[in-house]
Amino acid sequence: MEEELRVRLNDHQVSKVFPVKPKSTAKPVSKSETPESRYWSSFKNHSIPNLVSSVSALAFSPVHPHSLAVAHSATVSLFSSHSLSSSRRFSFRDVVSSVCFRSDGALFAACDLSGVVQVFDIKERMALRTLRSHSAPARFVKYPFQDKLHLVSGGDDGVVKYWDVAGATVISDLLGHKDYVRCGDCSPVNDSMLVTGSYDHTVKVWDTRVDKSKWIAEINHGLPVEDVVYLPSGGMIATAGGNSVKVWDLIGGGKMVCSMESHNKTVTSLCVGRMESAETRLVSVALDGYMKVFDYGRAKVTYSMRFPAPLMSLGLSPDGSTRVIGGSNGMVFAGKKKLRVVVGEKKTLSLWSVRSQVDETRRRALRPTYFRYFQRGQSEKPSEEDYLVKEKKGLKLTRHDKLLKKFRHKEALVSVLEEKKPANVVAVMEELVARRKLMKCVSNMEEGELGMLLGFLQRYCTVQRYSGLLMGLTKKVLETRAEDIKGKNEFTGLLRNLKREVNQEIRIQQSLLEIQGVIAPLMRIAGRS
Amino acid sequence: MIRGGRSYVTSPPSFSNDAKRLLVCTGNTVSVFSAATGLQITSLEGHTAPVTTLIVVPASSPAQKILCYCWTASLDGTIRHWDFSGPELLKTIDAQLPIYSMVIPSLLSEPQQIDKRCELSGKLVAFVSVEDISVVNEGSKELRGHIRRFNLAKPRVPRGDTLKETAEPESIVISPSGEFFGIRHKCKIHIWDVPSGGSRHAVSRKMTLHHTKVINAFAFHPTERVIAAGDVTGRVLIWRGFGNRKLALGNQKKKVRATVDLDNAGVRGEDDTESCTTWHWHSAEVNVLNFSSDGAYLYSGGREGVLVVWQLDTGKKKFLPRIGSPLLYFMWSPDPTLSSVVCADNQIHLLKMPSMEILRTISGIKAPPSLPRMYEGLASTVAFDRSSGIAALCTENYCVQLYNLLNDRGISEIQVCERNHQPGDEITVVVTAVALSLDGSVMSTTEVKLPEDGIGGLVSLKFWACEPDSKTFTLSTIVYEPHRDAGVSAIAFHPTRSMAVSTSFGGDFKIWVCNSDKNQTDKDSSWICHAVGSYKKKPMTAAAFSGDGTVLAVAAETVITLWNPDKNILLSVLGATLTPITKLCFAGKSEFLVAASHFPRPELSVWNTSKLSISWSYGLRVEAVTSAVDSSAFAVLAVIPKSFKTDKSKENIFRGRDGAILLFNGSDPKPVSIWTVIKAKGGSISFLEGDKSQLRLAYVNGSREYVVFDPNSDESHERSAVDYDGLAGLEETGDAGYTSLYGQLPDYDKKRMEDVDSLATPFISSERPWETIFSGSTLNFPPLQKLCAEFFESLMEKRTAVVE
């Protein structure tokens, strides 16, 4: 205690220099930066413009290098997911509604609004197979999880078809939907399980092994279903319809686990995203232009991002490096992440260099008896037992601080006005008020400086944070320097703008008062009850 | 009983011969501080009035450096000789007159001369400045100050020879060589030389130097015949070669220069000097003048708080700026690398000499800030940490000083506003209030930036978090304009949780909570507004949490509103006092609520919150209220009304004391005990609860002297030890004192309050006024205006909490 007290008394300093600081502003209570948001905002923007019309479907190849198929208008374009450059185009007779890669990534299937499902080799221009059976526009096509020989498709005729691709024949028609079938997904754990969603508000679960064309389970979303996905466990599905996204437990008998209703318009597409920590999130896009990341484990929206167009489709590459979103204006909002391959390489390197490192530490051990000990340079790192003498941090003084220190008040005000940082200007003005020198500064200003001050006042006097000081100051400046301002051409524009700003502010205040008048009785009633 | 907070700066301090100790006059005692640590070592106790002069007997040879003798003179009329290494009182000489200043020239003379003189005559001549009131009563002229010569060798001094009479006692300045001494008197300096013969009747010769301005300070050069004087305008005058004619050396009279027309530059009139030069740097009065020990430099300082070092031959200057307080004294020490400068804010800075760095500071309690008119009586500039006995005091230089009342020393200072204080500048920023939470972990301050021409005013509220290891506070949250542009009237902390309430004159109060519980990290903890409340848009003037923290009482001018602080629900309203309430306090954990109001009619009232009615009240002006945490005892600091003080019969009871501390217990209107105190205005009291579960009461008076005592034990034995202390005498008078103060009380009926000599207020319960309002005597009816408001209020529907 005694010792410590002495130390403190010793560094007693009577008086210090305090630089003029702007008032600190309120910080948000919640942290803006969470690991989650950092992950989702770290996709670097690469837009693919100039696609003709609305991007109706996106699909990533399940195998490396995860090439991307984009369905827009009557075309499917293949992009490489690394450079996001177009590599190949496939044309259709009608607007393509859905596209899907086979599990080995060698083939993809696509369906169009003429009701035709076509299968392409990604390296060849012509279709390998053309499957015709739908009597209305086909809306979705899916390869089962590992199965390379079959396809599932559905369409506006309300029929879900299970195809044998090689023979181009329908194995079974799955009947049951009473309205357009718009979406479907195949189970990620079982080749024969699939779900389909329809505009009759229901999602039906099918098993292709049961040949009675009867669904094995049904859940009711309550709204026309726009998209349905299996969650990675295969026991849960997520459905999108209307403004809501719902998560259902299939194994538990089709019970709803949670729902997310933070979109303002129809949710168009869902996708399962995998984070770095191997956690999965449900990502949804909607016509309101928002992409939302939903943590269905905690039933919480963890990230939200806005795009400048209604969003139609969504795709996340299986390695998590690319995120693509298709807009209704033909824009593909792609985002790419830097992959951390380098880390792995380094690790392998260090495995080999263990020996050399040991050598190095032995070499580097320095003793005061060595000659090298005295040749250490500035970059020498302190060892553990070294006592670090901390250098006193010098105080950084800005130009106006130095001028204020010399009591050159007007010059300080002018120099800070030149800086164009309103918070600093207001801080200097407050300091001048505390020194009782602000009005003197104003009355001493020359014409050009006065113009600068008026320009500043015109721009910022109605800003809420500064208006308490600046409104009064504006009035004082106009009063004290009236004869200098009057009749000068260079000031007329400024004065006109100032007047307009003030009038606008008065209007805003009036309308706010009106709103308050409306709200106050309501609040009172609420308080009473 | 602990006493402290005395001023260190009433008279110049003095270094011991080895420069390791610094002797400081502190009230009636002389405190000895270590120059190496800045902590107090010992004190010389014995004087019964403030010590005015302190002379350390200088060492004439290196071997004598260990000698620790000093002379002190005091207003109690005694001169004492001490050995301060002991400390031991060696000798007491009774001069019978209050001594304001004393010099002993022979101590400073050459050693062989001293020996010779002592051998010759056994005499020690001192020149003293005394105040002789007896002369005033007889004589027509009011010349109370006398300069006299005493012989200290004799045990008892009769009246000495009077050299000069002045209106007020002046302080005597002696030259370091011991040859001359002098006093300043308005625009003149009178100088005498010390008769070297040593005979009693050798008359010392006198000369006078004139100036056109009032001289504030002067100093003699250590070797040459040079005098430096500083005046009220900030000029420093250097007279060289004074007294060549009148005070010629020895008896070998030189030829008197008949030719006065010799061109003596700058010399006024017939003054006996060779030349006079003027240096002007100081913008305000010069208070400090001192030559360096070798005579090459002159130190000067004044109100602006800058120590200036002049090179005597060239007039070149060096500065130690930004000391932040007017300088009072500058003392160099026998050690050439150490000197000290004494500031008006009760700080003694020890300087490392050639570089003039401040080595360390002996920090006394700082003076209260001078507040602008509108904040007088409303500001609470003292807060107490009850467990550790630390007081947080607002100071002039925008700081909060943490002062340990139990050890009587300053701990640290916290810069509340990031500004440098310049003494003498116009006050533009004021720290108006400081509050500490019950456990001392959170401090809250409010400051007001006064507007210039109506623009740029700013009120801000700051919350500070304690750093437990270093006992200082770091800023956690700033709230600008917490109640729009209205001032903050009071801050109160929740007794157990991190919650605070601030009330404003603008008609609302805000409850603040700390959100550190969620984040776990202390650094991110911040205070956010939890709730806002208001009651009929009345100015909120005071606030207090109940002992368990479940009820928040907020005074809305004359009524007290009780709230649930968590849900922000108005629980009930306690009826009206006559005047706006300024202080609120719950009496411990009991249901009693103490309210005090000032203007225009002072009142102290105690309310029962369970019955929602007043229990009793007095017409006392209360400066401060405090209550114990565990018991229902509370104490108030009351200012004694003028009518009592002027009463002749009660004069000896008060003896110049203007305040009283009254200790009450719960609902009992009879005080348990009473102590009378001085300088109660602006004073503050608090209970201190240490680890020893000992309840103590701390009282800090208006000029920041304090006393800590146990209110329950009879301290009469200690009273005798401290009663001589004229600064803040306390007296245990008990009930006898109470009756002598206020006369015999009529018998109390506690259920229903009777009027006690017009001290009590008419009793009005706000809830159902019509049942009780007419129950008393007709003479006690409330005024019609009061009734009218109550009547209409009773007709209207009661509004619950106003949520914004």
Q: Give me A340's structure tokens.
A: 């951390």
Q: State the pLDDT at residue A122.
A: 86
CA A423 vs. chain centroid, Å, equals: 29
Number of cross-chain residue pairs from A and B with Cβ atoms under 8 Å apart: 88
If you measure CA to CA, which chain B residue comes closest to A20?
Answer: B418
What was the pLDDT predicted at B744?
42
Helix or strand (DSSP H, E) at B627: strand B621-627
Where does residue A518 rank: exposed (0-12), middle (13-18), buried (19+ CB within 10 A)? exposed
Mutation for A interface: B425, B455, B512, B798, most A CBs within 10 A: B455
Q: Please report residues of B whose CB lies closer than 8 A to that of A13.
A: 358
Check B453 against A469: CB less than 8 A apart: no
Q: What is the largest CA-CA distance in chain B?
A: 103
Per-residue b or e along B588-600, where b marks 16 or more CB atoms closer than 10 Å to that residue's CB? bebbbbbbbbbee
Instruction: Tell me which residue of B678, B594, B581, B600 sits closest to B636, measured CA to CA.
Output: B594
Residue B691 confidence (pLDDT) above 80? no
Task: Please judge whether B453 and A8 are an interchain contact, meaning their C-beta atoms are less than 8 angstroms apart.
Answer: no
Assess whether pLDDT exceeds 80 at residue B359. Answer: yes
Considering only CB atoms, which chain A residues are within 8 Å of B804? 523
Residue B748: predicted pLDDT: 41
pLDDT digits (tens, 9 = 90+) for B410-422: 888 888 888 888 8
Q: Which of B359, B361, B429 sits opposite A434 (nearest CB)?
A: B429
Cβ partners under 8 Å of residue A16, min gap 6: B415, B420
> Which one-letter amino acid corresponds to residue B299?
Y
Q: Does A433 touch chain B (CB under 8 A)?
A: yes
Phi first, then psi: what are they for A425, rounded to 5°? -60, -45
**β-bridge mates for residue B192, sequence order:** B181, B206
Residues 6 or more apart in contact with residue A94 via CB below 8 angstroms: A74, A112, A113, A114, A116, A137
Spatial distance between the Cα atoms of B493 and B315, rounded to a whole number of angstroms: 57
Choose the weakest-confidence range: B146-160, B198-212, B249-263, B421-435.
B249-263
Judged by CB atoms closer than 8 Å, whether chains meet at A18 and B419 is answered as: yes
* Residue A508: its H or E element: helix A489-528
Interface residue B521 vs chain A (CB under 8 A):
no
Name the one residue in this structure whose structure tokens are 């008062």: A513
Greatest alpha-carbon span in chain A: 97
Would you call the peptide bond into B372 cis, given omega within 30 degrees of 0 as the criterion? no
User: Closest chain B residue to A427 measured between Cα atoms?
Assistant: B456
pLDDT(B149) > 50: yes
**CB of B23 closer than 8 Å to CB of B84:** yes
Q: How many CB atoms within 10 Å of residue A166?
A: 12
Residue showing tokens 């790192």: A381
Q: Which of A4, A13, A15, A33 to mutate to test the interface with B (most CBs of B within 10 A)?
A: A15
Using a CB–CB cutoff of 8 Å, tell me whether B529 touches chain A. Answer: no
CB contact (8 A) between residue B801 and residue A527: yes
Cα separation, A466 vs A109, in Å, equals 62
Q: Residue B655: what pLDDT?
A: 64
Out of B324, B359, B452, the one facing A439 most closely (by C-beta) is B452
Given pLDDT bands bounded at 50, 70 and 90, which one contains residue B683?
confident
Average pLDDT over residues B748-773: 42
Residue B737 has pLDDT above 50, yes or no: no
Which whole number is the average pLDDT over B119-131?
Answer: 70
pLDDT at B741 over 60: no
Which among B452, B467, B479, B514 is the top mutation candidate for probing chain A, defined by the most A β-carbons within 10 Å of its own β-carbon?
Answer: B452
d(CA A470, CA A463): 9
State the Cα–Cα distance between residues A485 and A27, nearest whole angstrom: 40
- Please state whether the peptide bond connecting residue B600 to the residue before it is cis, i.e. omega within 30 degrees of 0: yes
Confidence of residue B247 (pLDDT cuts 50, 70, 90): low
Position with higher pLDDT, B284 vs B274: B284
**DSSP letter, residue B195:** P
Question: Which two tokens mark B651?
Answer: 């004069």
B611, amino acid identity:
K
Place of tokens 């007020």: B168
Per-residue pLDDT, averaged over B14-28, amounts to 88
Closest CA in chain A for residue B323: A14
Residues near A241 by beta carbon (within 8 Å), at least 6 away in sequence:
A197, A201, A221, A222, A223, A224, A225, A226, A266, A267
| Two tokens, residue A508 | 């805003």
Which tens digits make up the pLDDT trace of B465-515? 888 777 788 888 899 889 888 888 889 999 888 899 999 988 899 999 987
Which of B677, B707, B708 minimizes the C-alpha distance to B695?
B708
Interface contact A517, partner B, CB < 8 A:
no
Q: Check residue A10 and give its pLDDT.
A: 41
Length of chain B in terms of residues written: 804
Closest C-alpha among A131, A206, A134, A210 to residue A165 = A131
* Partner-chain residue, chosen from B38, B452, B481, that has the shortest CB–CB distance to A9: B38
Q: Which residues of chain A have pLDDT under 70?
A: 1-15, 27-32, 50, 211-213, 339-366, 529
Question: Of chain B residues 330-349, which have a CB less than 8 A from chain A?
Answer: 349
Mean pLDDT score of chain B, rounded to an integer? Answer: 78
- For residue B38, the chain A residues in CB contact (below 8 A) are 6, 9
Kindly determine whether residue B426 and residue A436, on different chains, have CB atoms separated by under 8 Å: yes
Smallest Cα distance from A285 to chain B, Å? 33
B290-320 confidence digits (pLDDT tens):
998 888 999 999 888 889 999 988 889 988 8
Residue A15 to residue B528, Cβ atoms within 8 A: no
Q: Smallest CA–CA separation between A198 and chain B, in Å? A: 45
Distant-in-sequence, close-in-space partners of A69: CB < 8 Å, separation ≥ 6: A57, A58, A59, A60, A61, A76, A77, A78, A79, A99, A101, A108, A110
Q: Is A148 exposed, middle or buried, given 0-12, 13-18 or 19+ CB atoms closer than 10 A? A: middle
DSSP B316: -
Chain-chain contact of B428 with A17 (C-beta, under 8 angstroms): no
Could you tell me the CA-to-CA distances from A513 to A462, B58, B532 in Å, in that order? 17, 79, 20
Please tell me whether residue A9 adopts helix, strand or coil conformation. Answer: helix
d(CA B303, CA B291): 19
> pLDDT tens digit string along B505-564?
888 999 999 876 555 555 567 888 999 998 888 899 899 998 888 999 999 888 899 999
- B412 with A528: Cβ contact below 8 A: no
Q: What is the pLDDT of residues B579-616, one digit of tens each?
A: 888 888 988 888 888 998 877 788 888 888 888 888 88
| Residue B361 near chain A (CB below 8 Å) | yes
Residue A16 near chain B (CB below 8 Å): yes
The verdict on A363 touching B (C-beta cutoff 8 Å) is no
Q: Give the span between the Cα atoms of B548 and B568, in whole angstroms.
A: 16
The pTM of this model reads 0.70
Do A80 and A70 touch, CB atoms closer than 8 A?
no
Distance between B55 CA and the closest CA of chain A, angstroms: 28
Judged by average pLDDT, the poorest of B153-157, B502-506, B699-703 is B153-157
pLDDT(B765) > 70: no
Is residue A7 within 8 angstroms of chain B, CB to CB? no
Q: Between chains, do B456 and A430 touch, taking CB under 8 Å as contact? A: yes
Which comes out higher in pLDDT, residue B355 or B763? B355
DSSP SS3 for B3: strand
Judged by CB atoms closer than 8 Å, whether chains meet at B515 and A16 is answered as no
pLDDT for residue B802 is more than 70? no
Token digits of residue A134: 């739908």
Q: Do B420 and A16 touch (CB under 8 A)?
A: yes
Q: Which of A6, A429, A472 sits opposite B37 (nearest CB)?
A: A6
B519 touches chain A (CB under 8 A): no
Listed by number, the residues of chain A in 452-491 with a beta carbon closer than 8 Å to a beta carbon of chain B are: 468-469, 472-473, 476
Averaged pLDDT for residues B400-411: 86
Has residue B110 got a pLDDT over 80? no
Is B452 touching A (CB cutoff 8 A)? yes
Per-residue confidence (pLDDT) for residue A42, from 0 to 100: 82
CB-based contacts of A419, cutoff 8 Å, min separation 6: A400, A425
Residues of B within 8 A of A18 (CB-CB) are 418-420
Measured between CB atoms, which of A5, A12, A24 is closest to B361? Answer: A12
Distance CA B116, CA B96 (A): 30
Q: Which residue of A has its CA nearest to B359?
A: A10
The verdict on A435 touching B (C-beta cutoff 8 Å) is yes
- Enter the ipTM: 0.78
Report the candidate in B381, B378, B369 with the shortest Cα–Cα distance to residue B700.
B381
For A178-297, strand residue ranges (E) read: 181-186, 193-198, 202-207, 217-220, 225-230, 236-241, 244-249, 255-260, 267-274, 280-286, 290-295
Residues of A in contact with B322 (CB under 8 A): 14-15
